[in-house]
Amino acid sequence: EPDGRVALDGVVEVGFTAPVAEGDWYLSVHGLPGQAALSDDGLRAVFTPTSPWLPERTYQLEAGACETTQAHPFVTLPNAVSPAQLEGRTWRFDTSTAEWVTPGISDLFAGLIGIDDLLVTTRERSDGLHLEVRPAMRMGSTTLPIPCVALTDIGVLDFTASPRLSTPAKDVQVDLFGQDVRLGQVSVEAIAGSDGGRLESIQIDATLDMRDVEALTGLTGLCTITQRLGEPCTTCPDGADACLSAYVLATEALEVFDVDPTSPGWDLFGLCP
């Protein structure tokens, strides 16, 4: 897999920098019996276990060729989950722990509008299990849904590669304090760990209309600022060069039981229109 995780029905493949001959190489996984086979061109070897992989376990791969030996740890994926296992559950995604890959200044905008967490939940509808999100703020150790903001439907979860989950790219619109914020081609990928008790390896891809951010924050010229910082705005669906692409990574979001993502929230600071 691209992230180095091994599926429970998967194999492990290694590559050699030059062709090797039979008898001049080896490949094994510590603590797990299996069979290793060399490709016809001598550039790849595949380890196929003869006993099942254990879920969410770290294994040690050992490979050798031409008097060179290397060891590499890897982790197996969790058990697959079903829509029924995830229906109605809620996870808290701490925005401060996210890695804003592109643009690197995206966390600035999250801070401007007071988003400490994203509440991620699921809801069963006629066409499948939908992923929904809602921004939240923190008061001490308490997480509160931001008032006057409804849950935003991100799309139907695809369980085809479970426990890897994903949503198709979709344009969404979020109403923040009476201001519509447009997010283009939003897609989410994650791994459901601990039988759904957490989401891990979260990836969020979207475009953000900076005109909406300006209207929300009262700031102007944000695209000029981002361009000077080396991250120019791109073309929006209406043709204006006012959108910023965002790609966000996060390690995990843990399940919470003391927060209701459907709550209207407390308008403590008179933020609601």
pLDDT in tens, 24-72: 999 999 999 999 999 999 999 999 999 999 999 999 999 999 889 999 9
**pLDDT computed for residue 2 by the predictor:** 64
Number of neighbours of residue 89 by Cβ within 10 angstroms: 16
Contact (CB, 8 A) for 265 and 210 = no
**pLDDT computed for residue 271 by the predictor:** 67
Contact (CB, 8 A) for 207 and 216 = no
Q: In angstroms, rounded to a whole number, what is the distance separating the alpha carbons of residues 206 and 255?
A: 24
**pLDDT computed for residue 101 by the predictor:** 79
Q: In angstroms, rounded to a whole number, what is the distance separating the alpha carbons of residues 204 and 190?
A: 9
Contact (CB, 8 A) for 242 and 210 = yes
The pLDDT of 140-166, averaged and rounded, is 93
Q: In angstroms, rounded to a whole number, what is the distance separating the alpha carbons of residues 210 and 219?
A: 10
pLDDT digits (tens, 9 = 90+) for 65-94: 988 999 999 999 999 999 999 999 999 999
For the full predicted model, state whether its pTM sits above 0.85: yes
- Examine the pLDDT at 96 and tell me if it is beyond 70: yes
The burial class, CB within 10 Å (0-12 / 13-18 / 19+), for 255 is middle
Q: In angstroms, rounded to a whole number, what is the distance separating the alpha carbons of residues 149 and 13?
A: 47
pLDDT band at 109 (very low <50, low <70, confident <90, very high): low
The pLDDT of 243-251, averaged and rounded, is 91
**For residue 162, what are its two tokens?**
């479970």
**For residue 72, what are its two tokens?**
């590499």
pLDDT digits (tens, 9 = 90+) for 212-227: 989 988 889 989 988 8
